[in-house]
Amino acid sequence: MRTILVIGIGAGNPEHVTMQAVHALNEVEVFFTLDKGSAKGDLNALRREICSRYIAPERSYRFVEARDPVRDEKVTSYDARVEAWHGERVEILERMLREELPEHGTGAFLVWGDPSLYDSTLRILDRIVARGQVPFVHRVIPGISSVQALAASHRIPLNRIGGAVHITTGRKLAEARAQEDVVVMLDGECAFKQLPGDAYDTYWGAYAGSEHELLRAGRLGELREEIERVRTAARAQRGWVMDTYLLRKREP
């Protein structure tokens, strides 16, 4: 039986890698990657750095990379578009596992941050399991997510005493207006611009936890233009930007 390890590698700092992840990395023969977009070069470089830093020199391993399918923008429904895209990924990964991993081998996916947050790897593996064509067992090794990295860099707890925290995406921020404390990820459109600036404080971070980290904290109304500017400049400079922010409703 094949074994697949889904290893959270943290949010961009090789020192986020946990001891549990280091042990797991040292079991792996084949690392699978399925990447796209402008961040690809940097993200793959980080994966390779993590492997060369933490895997014992006498162990041999290899990378197998497949081209990620492109989402079909002609499909107007977001859910249908993602569903079709995941379907294609299932086919590709299933083929990679069958062709590239020996029957008793151990393969791994190195997942940015933690696999539980806005990452499709586990959903895709569940679908491959359900198809029953390529049997394997899999384990998850948690990682430091960008949300934890953001909170640590700002030195804040995410929740207020006994309070809830809502985690969402930029696309769904408008639906989260009733929430007191909202963490927003995947916001390429700066959805925070639509909110009343006096009603919120924000704790924003790009490349949080890494050597390129950018942070801003304060009243949303005073920072939102600056954040948009800094974000745009960072993207122009590095070719990609990943940012996350907490919106904290101000006490009336």
Query: Which stretches of the chain bind ligand SAM, using CB under 6 A?
Result: 11-12, 112-114, 117-119, 145-146, 149-150, 185-186, 205-210, 242-244
Backbone angles phi, psi at 177, to 5 degrees: -60, -25
Nearer to ligand SAM, 107 or 209 (CB): 209
State in angstroms the smallest separation of the CB of 147 from ligand SAM: 6
- Min dist. Cβ of residue 108 to ligand SAM (A): 15
CB nearer ligand SAM, residue 214 or residue 220: 214
Residue with the shortest CB distance to ligand SAM = 113
Residue 35 C-beta: closest distance to ligand SAM, Å: 11
**Cβ at position 161, least distance to ligand SAM in Å:** 25
**CA 145 – CA 135 distance, rounded (Å):** 29
213-234: b (≥16 Cβ within 10 Å) or e? bbebbeebeebbeebeebbeeb
Look up residue 213 and give its DSSP letter.
-
Q: What are phi and psi of 143, to 5 degrees?
A: -130, 170
CA distance 20 to 250: 39
**Beta carbon nearer to ligand SAM, 5 or 150:** 150
Q: Please, what is the minimum distance in Å from the beta carbon of residue 131 to ligand SAM?
A: 24
Residue 187 Cβ, how far from ligand SAM at the closest point, in Å?
7
Q: Which is nearer to ligand SAM, 134 or 167 (CB)?
A: 167
Locus of tokens 């960072």: 234
Which is it for strands 200-206 and 214-219: parallel, antiparallel or unpaired?
antiparallel
Of residues 13 and 106, the one with the C-beta less far from ligand SAM: 13
CB of 58 to ligand SAM, least distance (A): 31
Burial class (CB in 10 A: 0-12, 13-18, 19+), 146: buried
Smaller CB distance to ligand SAM: residue 106 or 244? Answer: 244
Q: What are phi and psi of 229, to 5 degrees?
A: -65, -50
* CB neighbour list of residue 112: distance below 8 Å, 6 or more residues apart: 9, 11, 12, 43, 119, 143
Please report which residue ranges of the chain form alpha helices under DSSP H.
19-25, 40-54, 78-100, 121-131, 146-154, 220-238
Identify which of residues 97 and 149 has a Cβ nearer to ligand SAM in the complex: 149
